[in-house]
Chains A and B, each alone.
Chain A
């Protein structure tokens, strides 16, 4: 099949060349280790803003697929991008790079937490960081919306996903229930 009339993202010209396996692995080690408060926001930051390996639209699409597939989203993104750029080796490297650093940190934290978890200062620092991390996630979503300039049906779909999640509907229901309408909205947008 030939390519459909979806608009090519304007930023494509500004993309960097495809990363080497090593560069990809290092980027994912970085994403894992600085990924405080939500890895997806950091993956977007590194892949789209810092390295310019993919566009805003491409990242949002890979993340969308990752949410429909079962399993951790950040992992599904790493595996899809790794496979796209370096086949099976890329997928494996992406998954290991994403998880190995944080796992080591967690072992250390688990040991420390048993000793210092009740200390007031530790709890205060964690509370402040959690509040800022929530803002980081909100800001990332707003930035994506600003850059993607969605059509109104697409915006409506995003609003419904937001509302459904805030109503605490089960995520599989939201994702699978809204997917057909999202696809219809994309189709409607591409026709115009």
Chain B
């Protein structure tokens, strides 16, 4: 039982989710180690492919764990991996939210929440820069990134426009 792939998936991703402070993407290197080195579920190239696929698809990028599970044990594996990555961590978020209600308005809590805001925004900015660097395959890509930045920053139109423009520009120029 303990050797079954489903059990290994569950155990591995529960542990990962609980150290994923800063977000699921924080533990991608560890995810890679688990899937490639520890269990030999796939090679590096396949892992990179699955990660790129999860990024290209809509929804949380952490869903790459679902794809890893799919690779290991089909649909069952996908569900087990996703539940393991989200269940225990979700319970903690739920517990915190209940706790917060009991403290509603406590000054230290309000200051804590306000104090975490710059870290949240700084990390969003950083992920934009990192993804922009990774996507900068050609000058047109850099122009797309900069154009999209200004559009989303300065306009209230839906960002779907810039994504569609990016897809089109990619098809025409790349």
Contact = CB atoms under 8 A, between A and B. Distances in A.
In this complex, the interface size class of chain B, counting residues with CB under 8 Å from chain A, is 35 or more
Contact of A135 (B22, B70, B145, B168): B145
Interface string A155-183: 11111111011100011101110110111
Interface of B: 17-24, 26, 49, 52-63, 66-67, 70, 75, 78, 82, 85-86, 88-90, 92-94, 96-98, 100-101, 105-107, 110-132, 134-137, 140-142, 144-154, 156, 158-160, 162-163, 165-171, 173-174
Contacts of A69: 21, 89, 92-93, 96
A113 interface: yes
A171 B22 CA distance: 5
A154 B117 contact: yes
In this complex, the interface size class of chain A, counting residues with CB under 8 Å from chain B, is 35 or more
Of A65, A83, A133, chain B has the most CB atoms within 10 Å of the CB of A133
Contact of A162 (B21, B122, B146): B122
Given A60-B117, A135-B146, A127 B105 contact: no
Nearest to B160: A34
B122 A158 contact: yes
B155 to A, nearest CB: 9
A140 B151 CA distance: 10
A106 B57 contact: yes
Interface in A97-122: 98-99, 101-103, 105-107, 109-110, 113, 117, 121
Nearest to B83: A99
13 contacts: A37-B131, A60-B120, A65-B96, A69-B93, A72-B20, A74-B62, A80-B100, A99-B59, A128-B167, A132-B163, A133-B135, A162-B126, A179-B115
Of A38, A109, A138, chain B has the most CB atoms within 10 Å of the CB of A138
Interface of A: 1-4, 6, 32-42, 45, 49, 57, 60-61, 63-76, 79-80, 83-84, 88, 91, 95, 98-99, 101-103, 105-107, 109-110, 113, 117, 121, 123-146, 148, 150, 154-162, 164-166, 170-172, 174-176, 178-179, 181-187, 189-190
A107 B56 CA distance: 13
A35 B41 CA distance: 28
Of B18, B154, B159, chain A has the most CB atoms within 10 Å of the CB of B159
